[in-house]
Amino acid sequence: MYDIAVIGAGPAGASAAIFLAKAGKKTLMIENGLSVTRRALIKNHYGVAEITGPEMIQVGKSQAETMGADVAAAQVVNIVRNGDHFEVQTEEKVYSAVQVILATGLYTDLAEHIGVQTKPGTEPRVKTVVDVDSQGKTSIEGIWAAGTVAGVSMHTIVTAGDGAKVAINLLSELKGERYVDHDVYKPEK
């Protein structure tokens, strides 16, 4: 049983998985290889001079794994509530998770299939997005959404930030107080 299943391993999904796994939550990140970020050459991400999309995705996935997340390559075809958790169904396997974050980029087919509320997108070339509240919660309790699929500006710094934001909100809700993840740099004397 996973605490959280993150669907998507683009900047939004991987960033969420990094925060969740680093906080000690049993985290699964599932992706089908169809991130739009594969096609990007990124020169506007703060703190990174230049990086290709495939490199960013690879680094994000391995960072999530280093923090303890499991990563699976699969197509999620359905998400069904089963008592106190969700069954995340892929073409080959079913995973159980207490909560789910949708970070599926331009793809809203899964969200629409499971019945979360959607609305028209406002960003260029983004037709439909998941309707989320300010926390990142969807219309289905326990299912959150982050990144392009949640309607934020389609730039890696923003989608990654949104994934982190939603993970922090989820962690804060579990903790019952605002969650902060700060490591301290101690320069050598």
Nearer CB in complex with ligand FAD: 59/178: 59
Pairing status of strand 76-82 against strand 85-90: antiparallel
Which of 30, 79, 126, 140 lies at the binding interface for ligand FAD (CB under 6 A)?
30
Residues 59-98 that bind ligand FAD (CB under 6 A): 75-76
Torsion of CA 159, 48, 23, 129, to 10 degrees: 10
Contact residue for ligand FAD among 4, 6, 9, 145 (CB under 6 A):
9
How many CB atoms are closer than 10 A to CB 115?
A: 12
Q: What string marks each residue from 96 to 135 as x (binds ligand FAD by CB under 6 A) or -?
A: -------xxxxx--x-------------------------
Using rule CB under 6 A, residue 6 touches ligand FAD: no
Nearest to 121 by CA among 142, 107, 140: 107
Burial state string for 70-101 with b = 16 or more CB within 10 A and e = fewer than 16: bbbebebeebeeeeebbebbbeeeebebbbbb
- Contacts to ligand FAD by CB under 6 A: 7-13, 30-37, 39-42, 44-45, 53, 75-76, 103-107, 110, 147-148, 154-157, 159
